[in-house]
Structure 1
Amino acid sequence: MGSGGGSVAAALVAKQQGKTAVILEKENVFGGSTSFSGGVWWIPNSSLLKEAGIPDSFERAREYFNHCVNYKGPAVTPQRRDSFLKAAPKMLDYLRGHGLKVRRPNDDWPDYYDNLPGGEPLGRSIMPEPFNIHELGEWEELLAMYPPMAAMPMPTEEFPTLFLMKRTWAGKMKALRFAFLTLRDKLTGRRTVTNGSAIQGQLLQIALREGIIIQRNSPGKRLIVEDGRVTGVVIERDGKDVEVRARQGVLINVGGYSRNKEFRQKVTDGPITNEWTSANPGDTGEMIQAMMDIGAATDCLDTAWWVVTSRNTNGEWPEGAVWKDGRVLPFMHHLDLSLPHSILVDQNGRRVADESGAYMEIGERIYQRNRETGGKAVPCWVIFDKRHRERYPWGTFPPGKTPQSWLDSGYMKKADTLDQIAALCGIDASGLKAEAERFNRFCETGVDEDFGRGCRKFDNVHGDPTVKPNPNLGKIEQGPFYAVAIYPGDVGTAGGVVTDEYARVVKEDGSVIPGLYATGNSTASVFGRCYPAAGASIGASFTFGYLAAHHATGSNELERILA
C-alpha cells in the first residue's frame, strides 16, 4: 500500500523470491512522500563511502546512533537499530544492481551531529543522479513532484553555496552553473529532475521494466483480518469496494497524517494544524487508523520531520508561498535561517534553539519552549538586522530581495530599533534587547554558549564563510530591523505504528500482528525524536521495506543480510 520509498524495493524482492507483488497507490500519481522530498538516503557504511575512500563501519555507525538518538520508546530498540544499520548498505547495493544510479553529494553534507562520537563530517548521505523524466514515456506525467522542484536541474545540496551568490565567488559560480543547466535542458529538450523526483523516477522506470504491477487511484479503506492474520486490504476503485488478497503479507507504506488536522490536534501537545505542512496531498493517515483499529501499537504521534515555516499572524500567506495554480506551498526555512544576522526568539525575547542546526531539533525545541512558557513560542519570531536582508535569500526570493507586499501586508515587520520591532511583534522588549546583546557577544568570540550554533561542520556548511570568526554568527545591531512569525511546519509526520526489526507491526503487548508489515512515515521512526542526517527517514523507509519483503517471503537471504 503506497508508492513511496521502500515499495519498489519490496516488490523487487518479492519478484526475486518467485512471488507477485502489486503496488496500490491512493493518488493518481506515483511516488508518495519520497517524490516530494529532497531526495536523499542516509546509508552508513555504504559501498559509495568505500569507493570514495571514506572509512566507516557498522560499529562506528552504531556508536553515532547511540549518541544522537536518545529517545526511549517501543520503536527505538537495539534490534531495530541493528537491523537498519546492517541492512541499509545491502539494500542500496541491491537497488544499484537493478540499475539505480546514485552518488555522493557534490557539496559537503555532514551528518547533522558530526561532532558526536561516530559522526561523519564528510557525510553518509547518498543522492540520486539527475534523471531525465522524458525516459518514462507515458508515465512521465504520472510521477509525483513537489512543484518548486518539478524542473530543478540542480540538487538540494548545492543550494547553500548558491544562496551566497552575493557573498562568495563559489556562490557566483553556482549561480552560473544553475543558469547553464537550465539552458542546457531548454536547448536539448531534456526534462531533468533531481531530489525526490529523481529517486522515484528511476525506481518507477525500474519497476516498469521489471513488470511490477502498479495500480493508481486505489485508496485503502480497511484491512482484511481472518483468524487473527491480515490477509489483504479493501480498496476503493471507481466508487466500489474491492478486496485485494495477499498470501505472504501486506506492507503499509502510505506516508503519515500531516494533512489530517483533527487527528494531529488530538495527539499533539500544543498548537498544530494541517496548514503548515509541505507533505504530499495524500498524507491523511487513513491506513494508520486502519492498523490502529486492529490493535497496532503507536508511538511519537505528536512529532514530525519539522522544517519551520512562516506566514502572517492573521493566517495570510506571503507572496511567493502561493503557487501558480493557487496551491499554498509554505516556505521551508532551514537554509535561510542558518545564515548570520538572524536569531529565533519566543515572545519573551529569548532564543529557542541553534538556528543553524538540525531542523527536526528546532521544531522539538519550539514545542518544548511553548510548553515551558505557557504558549509563548508558537509562533516564534525570527529577528534580522539589515545585513541579512541585503545579503541572503528568504523564502523563495533571492538575496537582497524583500517584496514590498511582505511589508505592506504585515507578514514582515520593519522598524528602526529593536524596541520598535518588539512592539510590532508583541515581544518583551527588555528580553529581546538583553538576548541580542548576549548573542552579539557570542558573535565576537565565535562561541555560542547557549546553543552551540556554528560548533559543527553541519552548521558551518550552511553559513557564510566571509563572516568571522564563526560563519553562522552575525550580530543583530544594524537597523532597520526585520521580523517574521515562525511556525512549526513539517515535511511529514514521524510517528505511527510500532514495528519490529523485520518491519512487522506489533501490538501494545509486543506481540506481532501476523501478515502485517509497515515502513516509512506510517511507522514510529527508528530514530525516535531525532534526525541524525540528511535522508534518515528515506533511508529507513527503503531499508525496512526491503527487510519486510525478505521476511514475508521466507527469503534465505535474510540471515545473511542481518549477519
Structure 2
Amino acid sequence: MNSGSSIQWDEEVDVLVFGAGAAGMTAALIAHHEGLDVLLCEKTEAVGGITSTSGGTTWVPGTQLSVDAGVPDSVDDARRFLQSVVGERGGDEAREAFLQSGPLAIDELQRISDVKFVAAAAHPDYVTGPGAAFGGRALAPLPFDARVLDKDFSRVRPPRKEFMGLGGMMVNRSDLGALLSPFGSFGNFRRTVEVVGRYVVDRVRFARGTQLVMGNALAARLFYSLRKRGVAIRFETPLVELVREQGRVTGAVIGSRDGEQRRVGARRGVVLATGGVARHPALRKQLFPAAAQRLSLAPDTHTGDGVGSALAVDARLENGGDSPGLWMPCSIRRSSGGGDSVWPHIILDRAKPGLIAVNSRGERFVNESGSYHDFVMGMLRDDGHGPSVPAHLIVDADFIHDYGLGLLMPGRSRARIAEFERAGYLVKGDTLAALAAKLNVDATGLARTVETYNRDAASGSDPAFGRGSSPMSRFNGDAAQKPNPCIRALGKGPYYAVTVWPADLACSAGLSGNANGELLDVNGNVIPGLFACGNDLASIFRGTYPGPGTTLGPAIVFGWRVAKYIAGKLDDGASHRRTRVDACMNESP
C-alpha cells in the first residue's frame, strides 16, 4: 500500500511508465538502473511508437561522441544557437536543463545499455545563426542485429513500409547507391549480394529483415536493453485513467486485452510518454490548423491517452508556440486495395537542383531546400490568398533520371515512370500548360514562375527565397551542380509533378512541465507524482525546429532526467526545480 493511500491496489511498483517509445523506454531503463521497481505499459503489441518509423537521428549538443567524430561541439555554442532560434518564446529553464543533461544522458546510455550512437561529422543544423553546427550534434543510432531478440523481434514495431525493400528489408543510407545501381561496379554488385543475401536468410526465420537501421534500430536497442535487465513490460495495456489522492497522483487504472481493468499504485511516480496529441480527436481539431488535419505520420494508436488523462486531473496544456505540430511534406500513392503509400519528402529531392514547389496559383511560396518543417510552415502560411495546401513539386525529365521524385527512384525506365503515372501519383505534362491543367494550377502563374526561376538559375541565384543559401540546403543539394548545388533551370518538357500535403511527424503542443518533467496544473503548480516526456511534454523549442533529431533528443534526455529525479539522483544544481510556470509559457488556446 502507498503510505496514506485509501486505495486497494491490485499491484504496486515504484515507477509506472506509459508508452514504450524512445522517451518511455529511456525513463524505464534509467529508473530500473537506479534500483527502482518499474512497470512499463504499452498500449499496443509492440514497442517503438513513432520512434520505430522515424529516421532515428537524435539531436544532443556537446557530447563526447562529437569529439570522437572529429567535430567537437560545445554546450555554450548550442546555448547561443538556441537563443537565436527560440528567442523570447519562453522555456529557457527547460532548455538549459536539456543542454546540461544531454551529454550526461547519452554518456550513461552508451555505458550501461546497448543503446549506441555515432555523431555525424556532417549533418548541419536546420537554421543558421550564431553557434550553429555543421556536424557533431546529430547522433545516429548504430545499426542493430535484431537476431539477438529471437522471438521478441516481433515485439518491435516495423518501420514504414515505404522505407523497406523487397517486402521487409531495411537499407542503410550508405548502401542505397549500390542497391540502386547493382551493376554499376563490382563493389556495388558485391554489396548488393551481401545485403540481399542476408535478407533472404533472415526471411527463413523472421517476418522481415533483422538488419535494422534508423529509428527502428534505436527502438530495438532500447527494447533489447530492457529485456536484458528484466524490466517488466506489459503489452496491450492502455492507460484508462490516473488516480489522484489529496492532490497527488498515486497510480493509475490500466486496461488489458481481455477488457479487465487493474489498479496499479506508483510509490514514486507515474510517467506519461504515450505519443502526444497527434490523433486525439478533440485536441487535434482544437490545436492543429484546418489545412494540416488530414494527414499524420503518427501511428493510429497515438490517440492522446496520456495527455487526455493528465487534463482530467487538471494538468495544463500548451499550444506549442509557433506551431502545434512539427511537420513533414508528404506525397500519397493511392492503392485500390487500401494501404496507401505515404512518402515523407525529407532530403532526397526537395533540395536538389531543378525542382520547384508551387501552389494552386502556380507560384513558389517557400525555399524548397529548407528543412521539412520550414517547408510545411511555408505551405501553411496564409499570405492573403489562403494556405499553399496542397503544393506540387515540379521537375523535368532530367531531374527524374538524376534524383528521382518521391517514391519514384532515379532512372529513365519508361515502364516505371508510366506505372507511377497510371497510379495517379506522378502527373506528366508535355508542356507547362498541359501540366498546369492536370494539376488544376493557374497556367499563367506557373509559366511566369518558371520563367523567373530559370532566369535567376542561370546565375545560380534565388533572390526570391534564397535557395541554397544555408549550409544545410547546400549539403542536401548536388555538389556537382555549380555554382549553386540547389539550383538549375527546368529544361524542356515533358514535365512531372507530385502533390504534397502537410503531415505532423511530432507534436510541439503538449503538457506543461518543468525542467524535471513534473507536470504543472492550470495554475502553474506541480502535480505531485505525475511526470511526462517525449511528445506528451510540450516542446522545449516552442514550435521551432532547430536541427535534425530535435524531437528524439529531448525525448531521450527528459526520459533520463525524469527517471533520475524520481530516483533522487539528479544533481541539485542541475534540477532547476520550480513550482510555478514561468510567465512566458504559452496558454492553451
How does the TM-score come out when normalised to structure 1?
A: 0.89
CA displacement, residues 382-426 of structure 1 (integer Å, 9 cap, x when unaligned): 111222222222233321355424323544322222222222222
In the TM superposition, residue 179 of structure 1 has moved relative to its aligned partner by: 5.1
Change (3 A) 1:452 1:367: same
CA displacement, residues 128-180 of structure 1 (integer Å, 9 cap, x when unaligned): 21111110122111111214346545334776x679969xx9x9977864553
Tell me the residue number matched to 1:82: 96
Change (3 A) 1:411 1:204: closer
Inter-partner Cα distance in structure 1 for 2:443 and 2:455: 19
Which amino acid in structure 2 is aligned with residue 230 of structure 1? V
In the TM superposition, residue 271 of structure 1 has moved relative to its aligned partner by: 2.2
Change (3 A) 1:174 1:557: farther
Change (3 A) 1:218 1:336: same
Unaligned runs of 5+ residues in structure 2 are 1-17, 578-589
CA displacement, residues 356-393 of structure 1 (integer Å, 9 cap, x when unaligned): 2111111112111xx33443511112111222222222
From 224, 234, 248, give the equivalent of 2:253.
234
Which amino acid in structure 2 is aligned with residue 258 of structure 1? A
Change (3 A) 1:452 1:300: farther
In the TM superposition, residue 184 of structure 1 has moved relative to its aligned partner by: 4.0
Change (3 A) 1:408 1:136: closer
CA displacement, residues 243-270 of structure 1 (integer Å, 9 cap, x when unaligned): 1111111110011233345542332222
Tell me the residue number matched to 1:314: none
Change (3 A) 1:534 1:152: farther
Asked if 1:197 is matched to 2:216, the reply is yes
Tell me the residue number matched to 1:213: 232
**CA RMSD between the two structures:** 2.8
CA displacement, residues 286-316 of structure 1 (integer Å, 9 cap, x when unaligned): 22111122222222366323111123xxxxx
Inter-partner Cα distance in structure 2 for 1:468 and 1:66: 34
Secondary structure of the residue that 2:487 maps to in structure 1?
Answer: coil
From 322, 344, 350, give the equivalent of 1:332.
344
Tell me the residue number matched to 1:56: 73
Unaligned runs of 5+ residues in structure 1 are 312-316
Secondary structure of the residue that 1:534 maps to in structure 2?
Answer: coil
From 279, 283, 288, give the equivalent of 1:268.
288
Tell me the residue number matched to 2:334: 318
Which amino acid in structure 2 is aligned with residue 523 of structure 1? L
Q: Matches of residues 181-192 of structure 1 in structure 2 within 5 Å?
A: 181-186=195-200, 191-192=210-211
Moved more, 220-229 or 399-408: 399-408
Inter-partner Cα distance in structure 1 for 2:179 and 2:83: 34
Secondary structure of the residue that 2:51 maps to in structure 1?
Answer: helix
Secondary structure of the residue that 1:68 maps to in structure 2?
Answer: helix
Asked if 1:309 is matched to 2:325, the reply is no
Change (3 A) 1:425 1:229: same
In the TM superposition, residue 456 of structure 1 has moved relative to its aligned partner by: 2.1
Q: Percent identity?
A: 29
Asked if 1:555 is matched to 2:569, the reply is yes
Change (3 A) 1:174 1:516: farther
CA displacement, residues 311-351 of structure 1 (integer Å, 9 cap, x when unaligned): 3xxxxx336xx9xx953341111222222211111112221
Change (3 A) 1:489 1:176: farther
Tell me the residue number matched to 1:28: 45
From 127, 140, 154, give the equivalent of 2:140.
127
Tell me the residue number matched to 2:268: 248
How many correspondences in the alignment?
A: 543
Inter-partner Cα distance in structure 2 for 1:539 and 1:195: 14
CA displacement, residues 492-547 of structure 1 (integer Å, 9 cap, x when unaligned): 33321121111111133322111111111112211122222221111100111111
Change (3 A) 1:97 1:122: same
Inter-partner Cα distance in structure 2 for 1:426 and 1:196: 37
Tell me the residue number matched to 2:7: none
CA displacement, residues 431-467 of structure 1 (integer Å, 9 cap, x when unaligned): 2222222222332222322222212222123222222
Tell me the residue number matched to 1:354: 367
Change (3 A) 1:522 1:214: same
Tell me the residue number matched to 2:404: 393
Tell me the residue number matched to 2:394: 383
How does the TM-score come out when normalised to structure 2?
A: 0.85
